[in-house]
């Protein structure tokens, strides 16, 4: 049966990924949107989920694509309306908010999926299998992108919140999938622009029983070529996961992979969870971010400018 789904928040990721993925899916149909502006999609649009559900009684699920601040209220409203819920990363504004979502969904008897799209990148599972039986000597993350390209004009990203960890948490979602034992933060340096409330760069050192050394470098100020790479040196060779997990090379040789389908896989998994009435709410990447802020040494760097 096709699941009638609404998007909440029609911004960059909703238009880049969610709308085309739903349109191509045989398991979902777009039933409406909750949006302050999007009246161009040929489906009902409303200011709240309650108002949309009144217009579209067959609405059964929502996919939440707003910024993390304010998500908790939207999730509460969705569950109260009897809807199954899928959530963009990061799951919430705070860890304590996010920790309530799974119990809220179970109490409401609804499916919940707190998504990590980068975990669905094509190279992640092949790398996880390759790592089985190998000892990780050093795992180094370099996740360096230009906020001006990926979050054009989005002032919310500079409000108190996770800043550069908005992309960095994608790498941490891969890391926590790859490692067979938990990682913990040992040291963190967070670099805040003098005029902004969230960090533009961060350096992390982590510990894990599954690796001798784990480090991460995150930047939101990377001009020119963008870098989303995880290099894993083991006792049995070196793997390099590039392009956010979309490409994998082992000892210098590219591994053949499927075509990119991150969001297709997310929606397939959500449909499966809806069918079984289950909850998938892994907070391990978000917990690492929270710990980086607990331990983080703060440095002040140059003010941020959207244009040169
Ligand atoms: P965005 O372009 O700013 O879109 C967010 C949308 O949420 C807005 O267009 C707006 O939609 C709605 N909204 C509701 N309350 C808002 C508020 N207080 N401030 C701003 N917008 C508000 O953001 P985005 O890049 O799509 O990111 C949304 C989420 O997706 C974030 O959690 C982000 O981490 C995640 N994500 C983003 C990317 C990316 O490449 N940008 C990639 C993967 C995941 P209406 O005008 O329709 O109400």
Fold assignment, 121-256+290-301: Dihydrodipicolinate Reductase; domain 2 (3.30.360)
Pairing assessment for the beta strands 84-87 and 112-114 based on DSSP bridges = parallel
- Summary mean pLDDT of the chain: 97
**Does the fold of domain 121-256+290-301 match that of domain 3-114?**
no
Site to substitute for ligand 1 among 7, 10, 13, most atoms within 8 A of C-beta: 13
- What homologous superfamily is domain 3-114 in, according to CATH? NAD(P)-binding Rossmann-like Domain (3.40.50.720)
Cα 236 to ligand 1 centre (Å)? 42
Q: Where are the domains of the chain?
A: 3-114, 121-256+290-301
Q: Give the pLDDT confidence of 127-162 residue by residue, as tens digits.
A: 999 999 999 999 999 999 999 999 999 999 999 999
Is 53 part of the annotated catalytic residue set?
A: no
Answering whether pTM is above 0.85, one says: yes
The residue whose CA is least distant from atom 39 of ligand 1 is: 13
Please report, for residues 52, 117, 204, 205, 295, the alpha-carbon distance to residue 187 in angstroms, rounded to integers and kept in the order given: 46, 26, 6, 5, 7
Residue 303's pLDDT is what? 97
Q: Give the pLDDT confidence of 72-90 residue by residue, as tens digits.
A: 999 999 999 999 999 999 9
For residues 170 and 116, the answer to whether their CB atoms sit within 8 Å is yes
């Amino acid at each position: 049966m096709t699941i009638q789904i609404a998007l909440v928040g029609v911004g960059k990721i909703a238009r880049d990924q969610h709308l085309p993925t739903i349109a191509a899916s045989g398991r979902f149909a777009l039933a409406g949107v909750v949006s302050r502006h999007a009246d161009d999609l040929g489906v009902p649009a409303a200011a709240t989920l309650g108002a949309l559900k009144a217009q579209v009684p067959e609405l059964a699920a929502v996919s939440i694509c707003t910024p993390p601040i304010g998500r908790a209220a939207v999730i509460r409203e969705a569950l109260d309306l009897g809807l199954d819920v899928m959530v963009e990363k990061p799951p919430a504004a705070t860890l304590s908010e996010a920790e309530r979502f799974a119990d809220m969904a179970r109490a409401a008897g609804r499916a919940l999926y707190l998504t990590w799209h980068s975990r669905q990148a094509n190279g992640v599972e092949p790398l996880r299998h390759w790592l089985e039986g190998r000892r990780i000597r050093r795992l180094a993350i370099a996740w360096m992108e230009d906020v001006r390209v990926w979050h054009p004009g989005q002032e919310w990203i500079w409000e108190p919140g996770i800043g550069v960890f908005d992309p960095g948490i994608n790498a941490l979602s891969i890391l926590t999938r790859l490692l067979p034992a938990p990682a913990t933060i040992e040291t963190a340096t967070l670099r805040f622009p003098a005029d902004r409330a969230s960090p533009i760069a961060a350096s992390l050192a982590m510990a894990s029983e599954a690796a001798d050394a784990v480090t991460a470098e995150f930047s939101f100020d990377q001009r020119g070529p963008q870098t989303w790479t995880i290099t894993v040196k083991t006792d049995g060779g070196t793997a390099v996961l590039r392009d956010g997990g979309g490409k994998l090379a082992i000892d210098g040789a590219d591994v053949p992979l499927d075509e990119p389908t991150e969001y297709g896989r997310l929606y397939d998994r959500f449909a499966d969870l809806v069918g079984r009435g289950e909850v998938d709410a892994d907070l391990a990447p978000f917990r690492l971010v929270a710990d980086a802020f607990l331990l983080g040494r703060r440095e002040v760097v140059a003010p941020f400018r959207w244009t040169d």
